[in-house]
Structure 1
Amino acid sequence: MVAQTNTQVGLTAAEVQARIQAGQQNEPAPALTRSVKQIFRDNLLTWFNLINLILGGLVFITGSYKNLLFLGVAIVSTGIGIFQEIRSKRQVDKMSLLSEATYRVKRDGQVATMHQDGIVQDDLLLVSRGDQLPVDAVILETAGIEVDESQITGEATAIAKANGDALVSGSFLVSGQAVVQVTAVGHKSFISQLSSEASTATATNSSQLLKTINRIIKVLTIVILPLGAILMISRLMGHSNLNQAILGTVAAMVGMIPEGLVLLTSVSLAVSAMNLARKRVLVRELPSIERLARVDVLCLDKTGTITSGQLKLTQIVPLNGTSVEQLRPLLGGLVRVIGDDNETAQALKNALPDPGWTATRVMPFSSARKWSGAVLPQGNFVMGAPEFMLKRVPADVAKQMTTYAQSGYRVLGVAQTTQLEADDLGEVTLMGLVLIEDELRPNAQTTFQYFKNQDVALKVISGDNPVTVANIAQRAGIDGSERLVDMSQLAAPIDYDELVATYTVFGRVTPTQKKQLVIAWQRAGHTVAMTGDGVNDILALRQADCGIAMAGGSEAAKSIADFVLVNANFDAMLSVLNEGRRVINNIERVASLYLIKTMYSVVLSLIFIFMASGYPFQPIQLTPISTLTVGIPSFFLALEPNYQRITGQFMKQVMVIALPAAICVVTYIMLIFGVGGGELGLSYAQTSTLSVLLTGAVCFVALLMVARPLNRLKIGLVVAMAVCFAVAVLFMGKLFSLVSLFDWQLALYYLPLLVTVYPFFYLVQELLGKRVFAKIKWR
């Protein structure tokens, strides 16, 4: 039972406090970011960290403590990742507070605005079109509302509700407004119980980058342990002592682990979210940054994206014997009794007088009907799109409407009817036309030109007259804006595939048609982004690969969008597009650096299972290679500006550099151990030193290729890393278990090999490009 509350007063301060103490307060909105505890847990408790700890324990047994340095590198890398994620989290959390939904609550006879965690049991909420309910409630007062419960039931059909009807949390108002009383809050609400029952949730549209990288990780997970065990056994059977066998096996397994690759991807996305938050763009989930970078069709709603959304009444055109003097109070009274608070209603309220009328019945505005109406003492009156109110628009009126629409005006009609039903208005007498003007957004042309240059096709989907929309789109410089279609004039069944291939501007579109248009573009192989701010956009926002909502739009639209533009500034989408491209392009580049070591380590492990000599590296010897050619450079390169178009060929981009480099490393090491260890009689210490030197040289060539196009900063980075590597191998040999390279007999062997590194790398890359890469269909 719900306690009866005075609808004029609401709960008193004492009653609110009593409910808070009784635990009858609603819960806050779910956080968009992971907690600090989750960040630490997810970064520390990984499969590869476990393997590293086990390998560290084995090295500890040998007593060769300097070979534990690889653990220090892993710890520092993880620490940097945790720091960056927490830093990004704080920025995003600040931004999410600014865009968090607020609700109007009546208490002590006053209307207060608060977040959902301020609502208590039995509170009175004032809800209107576009609001999403954070609690369960019952309707106390309404002139008529329609509710969408699709997030609960899966059915998108609007449901009419009246006084006494129940409303469930998670649903939103499609039309009308009401006073409702809260019946359940927090974990007792329907949406909370539904969430708790769904014990497992599957992420949709997750990052393609992470999917690809995780596939690589999954393969390595299967390979690393068995291969390491076999290598260990072969070393012991080959009469190596236990310590040598352990160090060789640990070096092989450490080399196979692409430590930091998943971490670097996650950190890059987190840093992008932080950068976007600074530009007043709230990212609701990180993979959406990547998805938007792959978008090639951007669907725009006219209001708020092409235009500023600041509407004003320009002219009232009387028809059928009426006068402007009659229509002004009629429109002023009608718009107020209907109670809509959209931009059009606000423009009319600002320009027209309030006659103080009351209505006996109200039919609120619906995006599907495209009209609203009321029963007044003077009769039944409706206001909206004339094409939807009239069965047939008279030819002379249609000509007038076309002329106004071509001038860029939004044309509404006001009419008297004999009935007022959702599907039947009876006889309709058009009394006049209302011309609404919407100004072009200042930077619209520049923004849309940028998207055009980036091969992103722009499509305009609007509920307005297509001629009006096309006129504004043309002024904004959108290509193909002369190709327009009036969706209200199409007979079922509609061939949406043909429509999306033919037209650019779609007018008089219903919410269901918006969704079907998005599906048709996706069916044609496009990645689609949808912008919107109202309840009429929700179906399409949910269907699109990437949904973008304005902060001033409906709470329902914001709740399902991937991005919320906090300042309602569409120009900020350029930053989102660029951030996504930066992440994808840079991770594609640096991933090859991580996989070089993985690939040659796997191949060398397989080879040295059957060789008498020990594995060519010790764990400590891999540290200068992995740190100076991969770890440090990758963190710098991953955050570099890189806004090129996405190729969609991640594995090809990686393999073009990683595979030739791995082949070169394996070739040089086999040459060193085959000729140097055999013909020249070099010791294991000497061959392993030369292996480190040549492997580092190959990796630096790969680093140079990854860093292209080169600039001063990148050249400086590569040179600094090369100098550090030279210092390590020339002057810190004892620390890294290397012999001195200041030996002229050894120099006669390694200097000619060093000279051949770049030509050999280039030759292998060219041969693979013509014989292998060109024949593979990369995804």
Structure 2
Amino acid sequence: MSNRYLPPVETGLTAKQVKQRQAAGRQNTSLPPLTRSIKQIFRDNLMTLFNLINVGLAGLVVWTGSYKNLLFFFVVIINTAIGIFQEIRSKRQVDRLSILSEAQLQLIRDGQTLTVNQAAIVEDDLLAISRGDQLPVDGIVRTTTGLEVDESQITGEAEPVLKATGDPLTSGSIILGGHGVVQATKVGDGSFIKRMSKAAKQKHRTPSELLTVINRIIKVLTIVIIPLGAGLFIATLMRGASQNRAILGTVAAMVGMIPEGLVLLTSVALAAGAFTLGRHRVLVRELPAIEALARVDTLCLDKTGTITSGQLTFERVEPVSGQSEAVVTQRLAELITAIDDDNETARAIRTALGQPTVDVQTVQPFSSARKWSGAQFNGQSLVLGAPEFILETVPKDLAHRVDQLAQRGYRVLLMATVTALTTPRPQAPQALGLVLITDELRPNAQTTFGYFENQDVALKVISGDNPVTVASVAKRAGISGTDQLVDMSRVGAQPDYAALVTDYNVFGRVTPAQKERLIKAYQAADHTVAMTGDGVNDLLALKQADCSIAMASGSEATKSLADFVLLDSNFDAMVQVLNEGRRVINNVERVAALYLIKTMYSAALTLIFIFMHSAYPFEPIQLTPISSLMVGIPTFFLALQPDYARITGRFMRQVMEIAVPAALCIVGYIVGIMLLGHQLHLPYAVTSTLCVLLTGVISLNALIIAARPLNRFKIALVALMALLFAAVFFFGGRVFSLVSPWNWKFALLYLPLIISANPVFILVQNGLGKRVLSRIRWR
């Protein structure tokens, strides 16, 4: 420290010194963006394995000279373009919101305090930091008033560290208490947080079920698609078919196996969800979190800032032990001035009582773990905080009065004289009076929480305040089960958390470590848990939760960690977040089966026709009406439909309940048609047309089931797809290499097959399909 230039604490760097450091590149950088760059979006959407396979298949079709069979490749191009457009649109929305939620820091320059973002910091800048800030640069402490820091990002230890003047601070550290001035020593690429990229995100969340299933499908297809295609091509040639016929059949088989639309649909659905939430002033920091929140069945709420507005008001003091109200009030004003804290409680008291002049010797800033703060000043030592954490044993009459006030919704703090500011409890505390603070409910709290409970989301309140106060406020907000409350300061050092989460709904006097353990207990009981918070006392719980939500008005550390940031600090927006997540996942689940039908029957048919003495029943262009009219177009519209039902957690099973029976029916019909064609010596054009027709009809039945519950829009959509599919046969047969259905001899073949398709599909779905699915263990 002695070898480093030390700008005066009162004035900081001059404008000239700042420009010199900027010119020398000694300037900080912004955090990595939440979204991919436009270049990365293009690269990642274009350079996929399936797109590369499609390019190769298109090249083979060009080789045959059958250019109309390239239609599948134009569909791939359109799908990719839609995906790129949607992701770029979502990126721009998220980037705009990221700027609005970006951390703002206080710098001292030229004797003035400036508010800037972290990219504006230069080496040797002086940062004025306080509780809730997350340090964006490495530095040294120049001045401090009881600065307590969480360095768990670096050391792994959650215990707060007290920092003195001259002590080093590492970027990524979170200020838990006190305030001070820190000089930046390492900025940009030299800082710890830059080297450890997003150090606050220590916990990697479990991959979403939706993405896990889709990635598993892609992994399997990656292994089997090329060997199956090669096997079919060789087998077709060995049977004496022409090279062009072998190529077209192989291309049709491989195109059918690729569920490119499913990958597109999932990414577009999540990107569109982030865009929609952005319009409701909700920043989505991780797209998979949309799914995580949709699956939430337990929502843990912090009282202040979530149930209440967080705008605290000082009401009055109630002296104890014969003290004068005027004297106690004056000493409270002096204590708050001496502590010089910047939390909501301190601001409310300071606003009401002013700031008298005091001579401060020692300060113990507020800590969420200690739940009290104090100072030695004017020859006296005073503390303010939760009575249970200041007094070893709260006298019965005082405890009774605290309960009475808490039941009326007051936040009750105890002010006491002490002989020393020791931790975790001060020495020899003597009560002076009770300090009463009020906090108003959020305007639409009852409506919002009522909605969540109607949606089968259990609400749990976890707060550092008195449990009686918390329960009273929660009851006024319409949260059920508020009579089941517990004081976590009285449960002992090693309580049974599993029993606690079973027996109670309201938890008061909770320490940050206990909040984390409660979240773990809910998760161990097989619940998907979301946690809301706005202060540093919520950080551990937010990290542990499956999904975390922060208020924009909360601490910078909390916002940097959360999956969602409510930019207007309006908890009512959570209704839209939950609905959007459920809509995305329910709709993807609804239509995923339609994509997998094609994948399953294509893979099965490829394997069968390697050994069957017939050419593959489709050409690439013949699959286009099925892929577009029975899958691609209707799924796009179905994915936009409102569906806010609770997520069942049975994604793979529900998909397979439609996909497996449909695929079995299609494979059965096609094998039957090819055997019939062999017996009747039907030309390839007739058998392939029959295969296309029956595949489309069964896919239409699957579409009807996937669209349930039906409404007028869905009925019209399905009817339109059926009419367009029929028009392909009646008016576009030549384009799609199909036999005209106007021939009465041909009608004698296809009409009985069409009539039988629906009852056969229902029979397979309710019979064989269910028996097969019941034998499979789903995770």
TM bin (shorter chain): over 0.9
The CA deviation at 1:67 is 0.9
Match of 2:55 in 1: 53
The CA deviation at 1:425 is 2.1
Distance 1:441 1:211 in 2: 38
Match of 1:586 in 2: 587
Look up the equivalent residue of 2:695 and give its one-letter code: T
The CA deviation at 1:423 is 3.3
When residues 434 and 205 of structure 1 are mapped into structure 2, their CA distance, relative to the original with a 3 A threshold, is: same
TM-score normalized with structure 1 length: 0.98
Q: How does 1:374-523 map to 2 (within 5 A)?
A: 374-523=375-524
Choose the corresponding residue for 2:159, options 136, 154, 157: 157
Distance 1:651 1:428 in 2: 61
SS at match of 2:510: coil
Contact 1:548-1:563 within 8 A present in 2 as well: yes
Match of 1:726 in 2: 726
Q: How does 1:61-140 map to 2 (within 5 A)?
A: 61-140=63-142
Deviations 1:657-688 (A, max 9, x none): 1111111111221222222x133332101111
Deviates more, 1:391-400 or 1:120-129: 391-400
SS at match of 2:360: coil
Look up the equivalent residue of 2:738 and give its one-letter code: L
Contact 2:368-2:512 within 8 A present in 1 as well: yes
SS at match of 1:126: strand
Distance 1:580 1:354 in 2: 48
Question: Given the alignment of the two structures, is residue 683 of structure 1 paired with residue 687 of structure 2, yes or no?
Answer: no
SS at match of 2:767: helix
Q: In percent, how many aligned pairs have the same letter? A: 62
Contact 2:269-2:639 within 8 A present in 1 as well: yes
Match of 2:671 in 1: 670
Deviates more, 1:764-773 or 1:201-210: 201-210
Distance 1:197 1:640 in 2: 38
Match of 1:743 in 2: 743
Contact 1:43-1:263 within 8 A present in 2 as well: no
Question: Given the alignment of the two structures, is residue 759 of structure 1 paired with residue 777 of structure 2, yes or no?
Answer: no
Distance 2:450 2:355 in 1: 44
Deviations 1:198-233 (A, max 9, x none): 9x9995322210110110111111111111111111
SS at match of 1:372: strand
The CA deviation at 1:350 is 1.1
The CA deviation at 1:439 is 1.3
Match of 2:190 in 1: 188
Look up the equivalent residue of 1:756 and give its one-letter code: S
Match of 2:5 in 1: 3
Gaps of 5+ in 2: none
When residues 78 and 308 of structure 1 are mapped into structure 2, their CA distance, relative to the original with a 3 A threshold, is: same
The CA deviation at 1:453 is 1.4
Match of 2:608 in 1: 607
Look up the equivalent residue of 1:552 and give its one-letter code: S
Contact 2:193-2:199 within 8 A present in 1 as well: no
Contact 2:293-2:530 within 8 A present in 1 as well: yes
The CA deviation at 1:546 is 0.8
Match of 2:538 in 1: 537
The CA deviation at 1:197 is 12
SS at match of 1:87: helix
Look up the equivalent residue of 1:671 and give its one-letter code: G
TM-score normalized with structure 2 length: 0.98
Deviates more, 1:128-137 or 1:345-354: 345-354
Q: How does 1:35-50 map to 2 (within 5 A)?
A: 35-50=37-52
Match of 1:642 in 2: 643
The CA deviation at 1:775 is 4.2
Contact 2:256-2:602 within 8 A present in 1 as well: yes
SS at match of 1:10: coil
Match of 2:245 in 1: 244
SS at match of 1:772: helix
SS at match of 1:357: coil
Distance 2:421 2:648 in 1: 55
Distance 1:464 1:195 in 2: 35
Deviations 1:536-575 (A, max 9, x none): 1101110111111111111111111111111111111111
When residues 541 and 725 of structure 1 are mapped into structure 2, their CA distance, relative to the original with a 3 A threshold, is: same
The CA deviation at 1:770 is 4.4
Contact 1:176-1:365 within 8 A present in 2 as well: yes
Look up the equivalent residue of 1:165 and give its one-letter code: D
Look up the equivalent residue of 2:686 and give its one-letter code: Q
Distance 1:748 1:521 in 2: 62
Match of 1:12 in 2: 14
The CA deviation at 1:48 is 0.6
Match of 1:364 in 2: 365
Match of 1:700 in 2: 700
Deviations 1:286-342 (A, max 9, x none): 001100111111111001111111111112101123212112221112112212111
Distance 1:305 1:224 in 2: 51
Distance 1:622 1:556 in 2: 53
When residues 196 and 332 of structure 1 are mapped into structure 2, their CA distance, relative to the original with a 3 A threshold, is: closer
Match of 1:548 in 2: 549
Deviates more, 1:103-112 or 1:762-771: 762-771
Look up the equivalent residue of 1:168 and give its one-letter code: T
The CA RMSD over aligned residues, in Å, is 1.6
Distance 2:476 2:743 in 1: 74
When residues 197 and 465 of structure 1 are mapped into structure 2, their CA distance, relative to the original with a 3 A threshold, is: closer
Gaps of 5+ in 1: none
Contact 1:445-1:477 within 8 A present in 2 as well: yes
Distance 2:650 2:541 in 1: 28
When residues 485 and 6 of structure 1 are mapped into structure 2, their CA distance, relative to the original with a 3 A threshold, is: same
Distance 1:424 1:196 in 2: 35
Match of 2:212 in 1: 211
The CA deviation at 1:424 is 4.8
Contact 1:369-1:422 within 8 A present in 2 as well: yes
The CA deviation at 1:769 is 5.0
Contact 1:125-1:182 within 8 A present in 2 as well: yes
Look up the equivalent residue of 2:742 and give its one-letter code: F
Distance 1:666 1:463 in 2: 62
Match of 1:712 in 2: 712
Deviates more, 1:326-335 or 1:513-522: 326-335
Distance 2:306 2:753 in 1: 60
Distance 1:140 1:612 in 2: 85
Contact 2:312-2:437 within 8 A present in 1 as well: yes
Distance 1:266 1:201 in 2: 25
Match of 1:275 in 2: 276
Match of 1:174 in 2: 176
SS at match of 1:365: coil
Match of 2:308 in 1: 307
Distance 1:309 1:601 in 2: 58
Contact 2:150-2:161 within 8 A present in 1 as well: yes
Deviations 1:405-447 (A, max 9, x none): 1111000111111111223522111111011111121211111
Look up the equivalent residue of 2:759 and give its one-letter code: P
Contact 1:530-1:544 within 8 A present in 2 as well: yes
Match of 2:656 in 1: 655
Deviations 1:48-72 (A, max 9, x none): 1111111111111111111111110
The CA deviation at 1:387 is 1.3
Deviates more, 1:542-551 or 1:605-614: 605-614
Question: Given the alignment of the two structures, is residue 147 of structure 1 paired with residue 149 of structure 2, yes or no?
Answer: yes
Contact 1:328-1:353 within 8 A present in 2 as well: no
Match of 1:619 in 2: 620
When residues 448 and 196 of structure 1 are mapped into structure 2, their CA distance, relative to the original with a 3 A threshold, is: closer
When residues 771 and 424 of structure 1 are mapped into structure 2, their CA distance, relative to the original with a 3 A threshold, is: closer
Distance 1:202 1:354 in 2: 42
Contact 1:105-1:112 within 8 A present in 2 as well: yes
Look up the equivalent residue of 1:445 and give its one-letter code: Q
When residues 72 and 203 of structure 1 are mapped into structure 2, their CA distance, relative to the original with a 3 A threshold, is: farther
Match of 1:223 in 2: 224
